[in-house]
Amino acid sequence: MILLFGFGGVGRTYAELLYERTGLRLCAVFDSGGGVAKKDGFASDEVKQLLKIPRGAAAKSGVGRAATLDEALDICQVVVDVSPPNYETAEPALSLYRRALSRGLAVVTANKAPLALAFRELAHRRLYYKATVMAGTPLVDLLMGLPPQKALRVRGILNGSTNYVMTRVYKDGVPFEKAVEEAKELGILEPDPRLDLEGLDPAAKLVIIANTLGAPFALRDVVRRPLAPLGPVTRYLATLDLEAGRASVEPVRLAPDDPIHVDYTMNAVEIVTEVNNILVKGKGAGRRETALVLLNDTLKALRG
Amino acid sequence: MILLFGFGGVGRTYAELLYERTGLRLCAVFDSGGGVAKKDGFASDEVKQLLKIPRGAAAKSGVGRAATLDEALDICQVVVDVSPPNYETAEPALSLYRRALSRGLAVVTANKAPLALAFRELAHRRLYYKATVMAGTPLVDLLMGLPPQKALRVRGILNGSTNYVMTRVYKDGVPFEKAVEEAKELGILEPDPRLDLEGLDPAAKLVIIANTLGAPFALRDVVRRPLAPLGPVTRYLATLDLEAGRASVEPVRLAPDDPIHVDYTMNAVEIVTEVNNILVKGKGAGRRETALVLLNDTLKALRG
- What amino acid occupies position B221? D
Please indicate, yes or no, whether residues B32 and B65 belong to a single structural domain of this protein: yes
Closest chain A residue to B270 measured between Cα atoms? A281
Q: Which of B276, B281, B296, B298 to substitute to test the interface with A, most A CBs within 10 Å?
A: B276
**Taking a C-beta distance cutoff of 8 angstroms, is the pair B238, B206 a contact?**
yes
B141:A136 CB<8 A: no
Please indicate, yes or no, whether residues B104 and B222 belong to a single structural domain of this protein: no
Please indicate, yes or no, whether residues A161 and A127 belong to a single structural domain of this protein: no
Please indicate, yes or no, whether residues B147 and B272 belong to a single structural domain of this protein: yes
A136:B149 CB<8 A: yes
**Taking a C-beta distance cutoff of 8 angstroms, is the pair B275, B150 a contact?**
no
Is A205 one of the catalytic residues? yes
Q: Which of A10, A265, A275 to substitute to test the interface with B, most B CBs within 10 Å?
A: A275
Please indicate, yes or no, whether residues B176 and B259 belong to a single structural domain of this protein: yes
Question: B63 to chain A, minimum CA–CA distance in Å?
Answer: 27
Range of the domain at A182: 142-283
For residue B22, the model assigns a pLDDT of 97
Please indicate, yes or no, whether residues B215 and B194 belong to a single structural domain of this protein: yes
Name the nearest CA neighbour of B19 among B48, B55, B40, B39: B48
Q: Which residues contact A110 (CB under 8 A, 6 or more apart)?
A: A10, A81, A82, A131, A132, A135, A290, A293, A294
Please indicate, yes or no, whether residues A96 and A125 belong to a single structural domain of this protein: yes
Q: How would you write the pLDDT of chain B (304 residues) with one tens digit per residue? A: 999 999 999 999 999 999 999 999 999 999 999 999 999 999 999 999 999 999 999 999 999 999 999 999 999 999 999 999 999 999 999 999 999 999 999 999 999 999 999 999 998 789 999 999 998 999 999 999 999 999 999 999 999 999 999 999 999 999 999 999 999 999 999 888 999 999 999 999 999 999 999 999 999 999 999 999 999 999 999 999 999 999 999 999 999 999 999 999 999 999 999 999 999 999 988 999 999 999 999 999 999 7
For residue A284, the model assigns a pLDDT of 85
pLDDT digits (tens, 9 = 90+) for B229-277: 999 999 999 999 999 999 999 999 999 999 999 999 999 999 999 999 9
B276:A17 CB<8 A: no
A138:B148 CB<8 A: no
Among B38, B112, B130, B205, the active-site one is B205
Chain A residues in contact with B298 by the CB 8 A cut-off are none
**Taking a C-beta distance cutoff of 8 angstroms, is the pair A257, A232 a contact?**
no
Please indicate, yes or no, whether residues B267 and B294 belong to a single structural domain of this protein: no
For residue B192, the model assigns a pLDDT of 86
Please indicate, yes or no, whether residues A147 and A262 belong to a single structural domain of this protein: yes
Number of domains within chain A? 2
Please give the helix or strand (H or E) that residue A9 lies within, else none: helix A9-21
For residue B284, the model assigns a pLDDT of 85
B259:A281 CB<8 A: yes
Give the CB-side neighbour count of residue B244, counting CA atoms within 13 A: 9
Name the nearest CA neighbour of A146 among B79, B295, B21, B13: B295
What's the pTM value of the predicted model, to 2 decimals?
A: 0.97
Name the nearest CA neighbour of A262 among A172, A184, A169, A164: A164
Please indicate, yes or no, whether residues A97 and A195 belong to a single structural domain of this protein: no
Q: How would you write the pLDDT of chain A (304 residues) with one tens digit per residue? A: 999 999 999 999 999 999 999 999 999 999 999 999 999 999 999 999 999 999 999 999 999 999 999 999 999 999 999 999 999 999 999 999 999 999 999 999 999 999 999 999 998 789 999 999 998 999 999 999 999 999 999 999 999 999 999 999 999 999 999 999 999 999 999 888 999 999 999 999 999 999 999 999 999 999 999 999 999 999 999 999 999 999 999 999 999 999 999 999 999 999 999 999 999 999 988 999 999 999 999 999 999 7
A292 vs B17, B148, B304: nearest CB: B148
Q: What is the mean pLDDT of chain B?
A: 96
pLDDT digits (tens, 9 = 90+) for A142-192: 999 999 999 999 999 999 999 999 999 999 999 999 999 999 999 999 888
Query: What gap in Å lies between CA A286 and CA A293, rounded to an integer?
Result: 11
β-pair type (B26-31, B2-5): parallel
Share of chain A above pLDDT 70, in %: 100
Question: A70 to chain B, minimum CA–CA distance in Å?
Answer: 30
B148:A279 CB<8 A: no
User: For residue B238, what is the domain's CATH number?
Assistant: 3.30.360.10
Chain B residues in contact with A293 by the CB 8 A cut-off are 145, 149
Chain B residues in contact with A130 by the CB 8 A cut-off are 145
Name residues 13-42 of chain A within 8 A of B (Cβ): 17, 21-22
Q: Sheet holding A246-253: strands in order across?
A: A222-224, A246-253, A234-241, A151-157, A266-273, A277-283, B277-283, B266-273, B151-157, B234-241, B246-253, B222-224
A281:B279 CB<8 A: yes
User: For residue B119, what is the domain's CATH number?
Assistant: 3.40.50.720
B282:A279 CB<8 A: yes
Name residues 91-130 of chain B within 8 A of A (Cβ): 130
Please indicate, yes or no, whether residues A277 and A291 belong to a single structural domain of this protein: no
For residue B304, the model assigns a pLDDT of 76
Please indicate, yes or no, whether residues A148 and A255 belong to a single structural domain of this protein: yes
**Inter-chain CB pairs, A–B, below 8 Å:** 117
Query: What gap in Å lies between CA B268 and CA A117, rounded to an integer?
Result: 35
Question: B88 to chain A, minimum CA–CA distance in Å?
Answer: 30
For residue A123, the model assigns a pLDDT of 85
